[in-house]
Every structure is written in structure tokens, then in C-alpha cells.
Amino acid sequence: MENLWACDVCDFKNYDGHKTCILCGTERDFTLYGKVPSKRTAAVEDGNKAATAGLSPTNFVLMNDSTPRTIKKNRNFAKLRLNNLNIRQKGARRRHDWVRNVDEQSGNIVWGRNRDILDHKVLKRIVVKDSLPPLADDGDFDLPMLRDSVSSVSSVGSIASVGYVSKMVMTPRHPDGRMSFETAEGQTAFQTVNPTVFSSAELKDVSQLSFQQKHAWFVQYTSTMEVPWEYGHMLLEIDRANLLHNSCEQLLWATHDQLHQSLRIKFLNEPGVDAGGLEREWFTLMTEEIFDERTGLFGACMDNAYMIRATSSEASEDHLMYFQAIGRFIGRGLFEGMLLDAHLALPLYKHILGTPITFSDLEFIDVELYNNLKWLKQNKGVESLCLDFSVNVAQYDKEPLTIDLCPNGRHIAVTDDNKDEYIYLRFKWIMMTSISPQLASLIKGIYSVIPLEMLSVFDHQELELLMCGIPDVNVDDWKAHTTYIGNECDPQVIEWFWEVVTGFSTEQRARLLQFTTGSARVPVQGFKTLTMNDGRICLFAIQGIRKEECLYPRAHTCFNRLDLPMYSSKKDLETALTMVIKMEVTGFTIE
């Protein structure tokens, strides 16, 4: 196999030809630890000038002395870098928080917390590079303290919080299955539907391979599931005017064998034989409708990812059937290698795989609620906030609905004594309780095409990569839905800008998008539906500014606006854009 290199942020193994990590977008030569900014590059100019401590290794110097002062400096710089990881890097880094271990008593493979192996590995590098002295009795340097301080920022909330796994449970009352939410520690990590095909030991071995090897294993087994063409194929006859309902209805009618047959699409009253092109078009149109806010089944959350709507029943009384059909649609995409042009919220990938979910995962759905609940946990006097054990759920054209988090919850005040229970119930409500029926239907649909055991060898970030591929930014669509502000915009500089963006690699475009809008992902329906944080449409904008005002491009992510200095040459513009997207890799921006 081609040589692979490991990303220092998420430990993903990339092909040698990739200059950036395809999982989290971090540059190949970027390191989290062992280097500290030199005095020359750490200076921060005031006003509109940039912090010039860029992320290229040439801008850092290695401290080789072995004093506690150096250790502290390295530790503090590591904490700074970890705290400034963007949302994509955080999600990828957390994939190692939990591991599968063999239970000594039962012999079963169960979940256990990892205690952040990545930071232990990096800590060893710091020890070697700095010739760390033995622990001192006076407390000037304490290795466990260093380890704990590094771990605490690498996965905020994960180490201290309990993990939970979602499981499909069959009961007489729920013969089709219902979702349960159970403590992760010690839970079985692999659920083998057919032990004669896959053993838990084999699945564990495969799960420890590189993504490239896992993918090859996955493709090998999905190909054996495919029904040969001569035994039939599945034809979907679709009315464009009723595409979602029509498609979901036929997907639900499909038998187990049909779900694994070759798929052909025919649009009603249209000529054309499907040789793959119509299927790709159908897949794109279905994705747009499924995740369209007006459909009412999914809602956009952090980083343009999508979470199940708790109020999806308002969209249709048959919403659970829609979710099951959508699960089959996603399963077909995995089965055929068709990439989904939309990203699910991180906790949904974990639900699909049955991997542990922790409180810190709330950040990927509602960062404001996540920060508020963290504040609640860390501070006293919460009685003054007048909270109770209930949530208000917004409804379309109706008054908000009050839901009790526990019996009679709306009449129970949140206090310092019971706030931990309140935080847990709010977390559980968002992650599980409010979407449990929809989640059960979605997962049931996916498993009807791809068994859980075949998916379980991937972690949640690898599953996203399997479903969505490497992020791609359509420059023509971006350009077509861009507005220009101010009298300073020079048409020649604007032309250079788009020429430079067109010449960028896929990863560079994604990082430029991250820098300018706060997200490396494009909405499902393209740049025409780019929004602000409050959900209102806000097209990408370029405002021309004088170089005297700001030497480098400056981003306003709340408004999707880029302040672009009017450079005198295309080369200067390209150099500046390349510099700011390198800074963005670890959260540093030019402003």
C-alpha cells in the first residue's frame, strides 16, 4: 500500500500525495506540540493589522533547553493551539475518545474510555525533545499535572462526562424496535447480526486498520451483496413534481433483494434511458428535498450539518415512514458509493454506529446551549436564572409547546443541588428523547441495506467521509452568488481573486470558505442559500478596501463577508489568500 502519513490533530492516515488531512483539513507539516512561537513572529499588531504568528513550521522555533520554564511554555502553547481548533478538527480529534476493549470476565468486546491516547503520544514527544528532568519535590514541575492540563483542553467535557450509546431494542410493545440510551462504559461494542459471516474478533481487527483498508474491506463485502443484473433490477418511476413522496413510497415498497439490485431511474413523461446519469440526478434532487428546511424533517445546525427536527411530525403524519425511506436512501448511497451532498450532525453518525456520545458532542448541535450548560455546571447561584425542568419547543403557526423533562418538571425549579440532573436531562432531550422515534426509523432504514456490523468498523468521522467524500466547493456557483460592496472594488482584482480560487486545491477552497463564512461546507442547495448564524439568507460578499487600511484579507463570518485589499498584482493577492487560509487551519484568523 502507498505510504501513509498520520495527521497530528486527528491521527488519520493519509496517502503520501495529500498535503492536507482529508478528514480534518490540517496541513501535513503542522504539529500541535513541541514548538513555541519565536519572539519575532509572536508579535500582535493592534488596530487592523494581523497577528503574524502563522502556522508554517518556519515561523516557529524549537526550544531545546530542559528547564521547567520551557516545559510550561510548551504546555501553554499546546493548550492555545488545542483551544483554537476549528469545529471540523474538534470532531475529527474526538474520534479517539472511546476504544473497544476485551472484557476479561466475559470475553466480550466492550466500550471503554481512551483517556486521550493522542495527547499521551504527543506528551512523550515533548518529554524527549526537552530532556524532561525527574519530578521535583518542590512542585515546580509535575508530569501528571501537565498530562491532565493537556487532556482537559483536547476534548473539553469528554474526559469528565459520562458516555452513552443508543441501541435498537425489540420489545412486545415495540416489535419493530425502539431506541434506548444506555451508559457506554462496558456496553458491547459490536452487535453481530450474523456471527457466521462476521465475528466480533474480526470486526475489531478490521476497525484497527487504516481507513483505506477498511474501505477496501467494505467494498469487497458490499459487492458480494449485490444481486446480479440477470436476476432483476429495481426501477423507480419518479414524478418530478412529487419527487420526495414518490421516491420514499417506492423505497418502502422495495423488498430486501430489491434493495440490493442495480437501480434505474425513470422520470415520468420524459425520454431517456438511465445509464447512471439519471440516478445521479435523482440522488442530488432527493438530497436537496430531504434536507430542505421547508420539508421540515431536518434542520441545519453547526457547520451547515443537519440534525433531525424534534417537530418533524408537523411536516407529515407519516414522518416516521419518511425517515425509514430516507434511511434506505442513505443506505443505497453507501451501497453504491454515491456521495451524499449533505452532512449530518456529528451525533447522528454516532447514533448510526452505536458509538458513545458525550456531553461535549452537544457543541456540534447547539454551541450556545452547550456553553450555557457548561456555565451552569461551573457556577453557583443558578436559582437566580429562574429555570425549571422543562423545555419550550417551537411549533409552526402555533404557540410553543412546553415539555416536561421529568414528571411535573415545569413546576420544579433548577437549583445548585439539582442542576447536574437538569443538565443531563437537557442533554438527553436534545440527543435522544426528542428524536427517538425518528432516529429509530432512520437507523432501521439504513440497516435494511447495510448491516450495522459492516458499518461498525468505522468511527463517526470515517463514516462521514464514506458518506460524503472530501468536501468540494463549486467555484462557479460561489461566483454566481457573490455580491460586491463599496466603491473600492477594482474589477481586475476581483477577476484575479476568482482565478486564484479556481486554481486552489479542493482543500484550499474549503479552508478559504471556512475563513470567510465560518464553515468549510456549502449548504445543500448551494451558495444561494448561504445563511447567517440566525438562519437568514446572507449571500457571500466581497468588499474592496485600500491596502493602507488592512494589509491582508479580513473576514466577517457573521455576515459571510470578505474585506479584500486592492492588490497591485495577482501574485500578491495569491500570497495573501494562501497565508490567511494557512492561519485558519488552527483557528487563527487575520483579524
Q: What are phi and psi of 545, to 5 degrees?
A: -135, 160
**Residue 34 · residue 62 · CB < 8 Å:** yes
Q: Is 466 helix (H, G, I), strand (E, B) or coil?
A: helix
CA-only gyration radius of the chain, Å: 25
317 contacts: CB under 8 Å, gap ≥ 6: none
The closest alpha carbon to 292, from 472, 471, 536, 525, belongs to 525
Handedness of CA 504, 510, 511, 512 (dihedral sign): positive
DSSP state of 529: G
Place of cell 445543500: 524
Q: How many angstroms separate the CA atoms of 554 and 577, rounded?
A: 10
576 contacts: CB under 8 Å, gap ≥ 6: 551, 552, 553, 565, 567
Catalytic choice (21, 468, 550, 558): 558
Place of cell 458499518: 455
The closest alpha carbon to 330, from 177, 468, 124, belongs to 468
Q: How many angstroms separate the CA atoms of 426 and 421, rounded?
A: 9
Q: Mutual orientation of helices 68-83 and 117-130 as an angle, nearest 10°?
A: 150
Active-site annotation holds for 558: yes
Q: Is 107 left (phi over 0), alpha (psi -120 to 50) or beta?
A: left
Q: What is each CA distance from 332 to 316, 425, 467, in whole angstroms?
A: 24, 35, 10
Beta-bridge mates of residue 423: none
DSSP for 350-390, written as a single string: HHHHT--B-GGGGGGT-HHHHHHHHHHHH-S-GGGG--BSE
Helix (H) or strand (E) holding 402: strand 398-404
Catalytic residues: 558
